[in-house]
């Protein structure tokens, strides 16, 4: 199909598609003349994916490109895939940030984590420091409770990784990391409303 | 203390403090001359809070201002506080977005939600549409599982609302909504690494 049809099929304007092409988010079509190219179903799927990453996932164009590169790359192990997926969406830690407390917490929960995941440990450290800086003390046991709940979530997620196809596994891990976050946050907010209603009746 | 001491105490540069003052994130000090003002411990606490909201919380200056206004405002009920806290950090839904599916899910879980929380329902709808658009099918029962887990989280959070002080309750609800989100996401990523290690051993 031509770019105008691609725009019609996906509901994404031609100008936006051209922007995705320039930014390397979408592979070039098959050139049929100096000014025209043909696009296929792969392009339709890729455009929908880009929209999801940039829109719902809230990623920047640069981060989306990095996630897409991971989807297209070869991976040796689930741990490696997970590492690169998490790396793509976790901000790089400030140089020299002490993650000793985060490390001690993770050790206390008995979790084994990737030795290279300094940035994810740093994200935990930063989140806890942020609560402290704001003068918000988590009630006793709350942090352990959050960790327990997230361990349950992660257990089901990792158990569900498709093992019959590398492509499917990569897609599951990368998109599951990026796109499930907004889902969990929306569910938490709605569940809080229900819990508030049941407790306070207003 | 003078603004230079305020900068030293908080570790925030004078230029940034002046920016917070201009943007209304920080109340004016008590003016002692045409060019000088005195600041107190309230200013120190407020600057730490602003840093947490804008830094860890990842809020824009405009959203941080709106959250701070909620902290400073009078509230009649927990539901109202929760609604405004969630409203401040939930993007406004696109006009005319159909939230029928999100509504049906919430009804199916037996959750009672604030009739005015269209935007939070929309966030759920957008998150689910994003997964679909990316071609990521959640395994059967996964969505219900996420909802169940978040109901457990929310139950503990709402049960922990301090009832002896309105100020403490407002602080708990507003900051708990905004600042716990990055904590949960960091924990999920670390828990995934542990689950992956236990399942795949690499």
Average pLDDT in chain A? 87
Note the pTM of the prediction, 2 decimals: 0.82
- pLDDT for A66 beyond 90: no
Is the model more confident about A113 or about A165? A113
Tokens of A2: 């031509």
Could you say which of B158, B193, B195 has the minimum Cβ distance to residue A196?
B158
Output B77 or A50, whichever has higher pLDDT: A50
Q: Which of B69-83, B129-143, B147-161 has the lowest mean pLDDT?
A: B69-83
Which pLDDT does position B189 carry in this prediction? Answer: 93
Give the CA angle between residues A44, A45, A50 to the nearest 5°: 100
SS3 of B74, please? Answer: coil
Q: Annotate A12-47 with b (16+ C-beta within 10 A) or e (fewer).
A: beeeebeebbeeebbeebeeeeeeeeebeeebbebb
CA distance B191 to B176: 21
Count of CA atoms in the C-beta half-sphere (13 A) of B89: 27
Distance from CA of A34 to the nearest CA of B (A): 32
Question: CA separation (Å) from A198 to A187, A191, A201, B82, B107?
Answer: 16, 11, 5, 14, 15
Helix/strand/coil percentages in chain A, nearest 5: 65, 0, 30
CA distance B121 to A138: 27
Average pLDDT over residues B153-179: 82
Average pLDDT over residues B24-42: 90
Closest partner CB to A158 (pick from B111, B112, B196): B196
Which of A94-98, A147-151, B26-30 has the least mean pLDDT? A94-98
Mean pLDDT of B59-86: 79
Distance from CA of B106 to the nearest CA of A (A): 8
**pLDDT, mean over chain B:** 87
Q: If you compute the radius of gyration of chain B from its CA atoms, what whole number of angstroms results?
A: 21
| H/E element, B26 | none
Q: Is the pLDDT of residue A138 over 80?
A: yes
A90–chain B nearest CA distance, Å: 9
Specify the range with the lowest mean pLDDT, choosing from A83-92, B148-157, B184-193. Answer: A83-92
Interface of A with B in 92-151 (CB under 8 A): 106, 109, 111-114, 117, 120-121, 123-124, 126-131, 133-136, 139, 142-143, 145-147, 149-151
Quick one: pLDDT band at residue A202, thresholds 50, 70, 90?
low
Instruction: Lowest mean pLDDT of A136-145, B64-73, B106-115, name the range.
Output: B64-73
Round to whole Å and give the CA distance between A167 and A42. Answer: 14
- pLDDT recorded at residue B202: 55
Q: In this structure, what token pair is assigned to residue B43?
A: 């200013």
| B5 pLDDT above the threshold of 80 | yes
* Residue B172 at interface with chain A, using a CB cutoff of 8 Å: yes
Residue A38 pairs with which residues in a beta bridge?
Answer: A30
ipTM of the complex: 0.82
What whole-number distance in Å separates Cα of residue B101 and Cα of residue B121? 9
Considering A117-121, B66-70, B80-84, the range whose residues carry the highest mean pLDDT is A117-121
Chain A: residue nearest B55 by CA? Answer: A130
> Rounded to whole angstroms, what are the CA distances from B50 to A137, B13, B69, B186?
16, 14, 12, 21
Say how many Å lie between the first and final Cα of chain A, rounded: 55
């Amino acid at each position: 199909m031509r770019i105008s049809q691609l725009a019609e099929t996906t509901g994404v304007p031609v100008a936006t598609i051209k922007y995705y092409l320039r930014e390397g988010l979408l592979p070039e079509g098959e050139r049929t003349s100096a000014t025209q190219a043909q696009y296929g179903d792969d392009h339709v799927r890729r455009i929908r994916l880009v929209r999801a990453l940039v829109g719902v996932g809230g990623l920047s164009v640069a981060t989306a490109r990095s996630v897409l590169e991971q989807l297209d790359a070869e991976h040796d192990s689930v741990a490696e895939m997970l590492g690169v997926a998490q790396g793509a969406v976790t901000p790089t830690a400030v140089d020299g940030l002490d993650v000793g407390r985060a490390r001690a917490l993770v050790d206390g929960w008995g979790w084994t984590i990737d030795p290279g995941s300094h940035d994810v440990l740093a994200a935990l450290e930063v989140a806890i420091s942020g609560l402290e800086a704001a003068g918000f003390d988590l009630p006793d046991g709350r942090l352990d409770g959050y960790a327990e709940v997230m361990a349950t979530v992660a257990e089901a997620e990792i158990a569900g990784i498709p093992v019959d196809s590398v492509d499917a596994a990569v897609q599951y891990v990368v998109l599951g990391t990026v796109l499930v976050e907004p889902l969990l946050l929306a569910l938490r907010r709605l569940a809080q409303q229900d819990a508030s209603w049941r407790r306070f009746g207003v």
